């Protein structure tokens, strides 16, 4: 008995559809707060997602939602990962002040000499102290920091006294505390709000790394940029996380794909790439003719001395909250030194 041609074609089409459906077992939604063309989404998150899709032979598909397209505000991202509104999120830990007290150690002044080394230290300290506490409600995929924080303002900032009365956007509880203590009027806000706040005069300046300057066009909104050679004035801790139930529901081989592309080495990669993109951001400000103030050793020493109480107070507050503040700080410093020695 022969099979009619149209029936055979139909069977082949059904087989193809069945194969496609079987091949793509899961679609994951990745939600974050920056435009898709910004450096972190384009050069870190997309790289991770593309690798996961490729390594799973197409069985995992990752839909990417930039600029809070799934709704909510940046401070809600971590709860979106916990509640399953999104399967994967990338966020700034400091957008939820006080929620992740131990990782704040990496945001303290002059602790980070290099984003890659500090990101390795961040992941290792998290494995030792945070996975079953701060991060118990979700699955961390990557933990990293950005390159050196820079002061971008509408007036020159050289000495600590220049901060007096300056309305300065700060990204986290740690940095807000520090800049307030140094005399600035600190204003906390997620980074997407910076351009409008600068243009409206809500703030006089912002602290962000050079890397994010192009996406926000900060070089067009201020004319002075103050950078600190050596250890960073501050940095910022990021969390790249997955809904735990979503991860647990994956078959073991797909969990292995996620795991192989996440963790220590990915965190180091993310920190390194983010710092590498500081150079193009700095170049844009220079090409525009803006004034870039690079502090000398004596000036940095004065800032370091003025910032020491922020470290001392953080250790005391963390200890008062029932955590080992001094131990967390000492471990972070030692881990950073270990990884920085290889650079």
pLDDT score of 5 more than 70: no
State yes or no: pLDDT of 210 exceeds 80.
yes
Assess contact for 123 and 239: CB atoms under 8 A: no
How far apart, in whole angstroms, are the C-alpha atoms of residue 261 and residue 329? 29
Question: Residue for token digits 């290792």?
Answer: 124
Cβ 169 vs Cβ 194: under 8 Å: yes
Q: How far is it, in rounded angstroms, from Cα 97 to Cα 100?
A: 7
Report the alpha-carbon distance of residue 313 to residue 318 in Å, rounded. 8
Domains and CATH numbers, the chain: 25-145+236-276 (3.40.190.170), 149-234+287-340 (3.40.190.170)
What pLDDT sits at residue 14?
A: 37
321 has pLDDT over 70: yes
Question: Do the strands 149-153 and 237-242 form a parallel or antiparallel pair, or are they unpaired?
Answer: unpaired
H-run or E-run covering 188: strand 185-188
Q: 64 exposed, middle or buried (CB, 10 Å; 0-12, 13-18, 19+)? A: middle
Query: What's this model's pTM, rounded to 2 decimal places?
Result: 0.91
Q: Does residue 4 register a pLDDT over 80? A: no
pLDDT above 60 (res 11): no
Buried b (16+ CB within 10 A) or exposed e, 135-152: beebbbbbbbbbbbbbbb
227-280 pLDDT, tens digit per residue, is 999 999 999 999 999 999 999 999 999 999 999 999 999 999 999 999 999 999
Write the CA distances from 67 to 25, 90, 171, 234, 240, integer angstroms. Answer: 27, 11, 17, 25, 15
d(CA 214, CA 326): 38
Residue 164 pLDDT > 60, yes or no? yes
Burial class (CB in 10 A: 0-12, 13-18, 19+), 211: buried
pLDDT tens readout for residues 122-140: 999 999 999 999 999 999 9
Count of residues for the chain?
Answer: 343
Q: Which of helix, strand or coil describes residue 329? A: helix
**DSSP conformation letters of 283-296:** HHHHHTTPEEEE--
The pLDDT, as a whole number, for residue 8 is 38
- Sole residue written with tokens 């081989």: 253
pLDDT of residue 19: 35
Mean pLDDT of 78-91: 98
Q: What is the mean pLDDT of residues 162-170?
A: 97
Q: How far apart are CA 105 and CA 96, in angstroms?
A: 15
- pLDDT by residue (tens digit) across 227-239? 999 999 999 999 9
Can you say how many angstroms the Cα of residue 155 is from the centroid of all Cα atoms in its chain? 27
User: Which of 250, 276, 238, 3 is closest to 114 using CA atoms?
Assistant: 276
Instruction: Mean pLDDT check: name the lowest of 3-17, 174-188, 212-226.
Output: 3-17
Say what the pLDDT of residue 343 is. 65
How high is the pLDDT of residue 10?
39
- What's residue 16's pLDDT? 37
In this structure, what token pair is assigned to residue 142?
Answer: 């990557």
Q: Confidence band (pLDDT; 50, 70, 90) for 174?
A: very high
CB 179 within 8 A of CB 186: yes
* Lowest model confidence (mean pLDDT) among 17-21, 45-49, 204-208: 17-21
Burial class (CB in 10 A: 0-12, 13-18, 19+), 298: exposed
- The tens digit of pLDDT for each residue in 178-191 reads 999 999 999 999 99
């Amino acid at each position: 008995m022969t099979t009619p041609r149209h029936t055979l074609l139909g069977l082949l089409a059904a087989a193809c559809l069945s194969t496609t459906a079987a091949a793509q077992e899961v679609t994951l939604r990745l939600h974050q707060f920056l435009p898709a063309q910004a450096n972190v989404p384009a050069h870190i998150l997309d790289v991770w997602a593309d690798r996961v899709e490729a390594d799973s032979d197409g069985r995992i598909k990752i839909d990417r939602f930039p600029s809070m397209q799934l709704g909510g505000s940046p401070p809600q991202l971590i709860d979106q990962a916990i509640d399953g509104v999104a399967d994967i999120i990338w966020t700034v830990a400091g957008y939820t002040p006080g929620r992740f007290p131990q990782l704040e150690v990496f945001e303290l002044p002059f602790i980070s000499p290099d984003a890659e080394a500090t990101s390795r230290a961040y992941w290792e300290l998290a494995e030792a102290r945070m996975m079953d506490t701060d991060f118990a409600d979700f699955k961390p995929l990557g933990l990293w920091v950005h390159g050196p924080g820079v002061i971008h303002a509408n007036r020159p900032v050289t000495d600590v006294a220049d901060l007096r009365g300056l309305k300065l956007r700060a990204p986290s509880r740690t940095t807000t505390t520090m800049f307030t203590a140094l005399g600035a009027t600190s204003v906390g806000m997620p980074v997407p709000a910076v351009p409008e706040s600068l243009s409206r005069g809500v703030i006089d300046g912002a602290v962000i790394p050079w890397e994010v300057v192009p996406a926000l066009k900060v070089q067009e909104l201020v004319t002075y940029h103050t950078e600190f050679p050596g250890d960073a004035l501050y940095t910022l801790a990021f969390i790249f996380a997955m809904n735990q139930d979503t991860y647990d529901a994956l078959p073991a081989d797909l969990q292995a794909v996620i795991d192989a592309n996440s963790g220590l080495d990915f965190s180091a990669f993310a920190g390194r790439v983010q710092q590498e993109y500081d150079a193009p951001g700095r170049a844009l400000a220079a090409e525009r003719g803006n004034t870039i103030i690079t502090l000398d050793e004596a000036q940095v020493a004065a800032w370091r001395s003025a910032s020491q109480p922020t470290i001392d107070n953080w250790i005391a507050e963390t200890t008062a909250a029932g955590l080992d503040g001094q131990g967390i700080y000492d471990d972070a410093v030692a881990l950073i030194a270990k990884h920085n020695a290889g650079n």
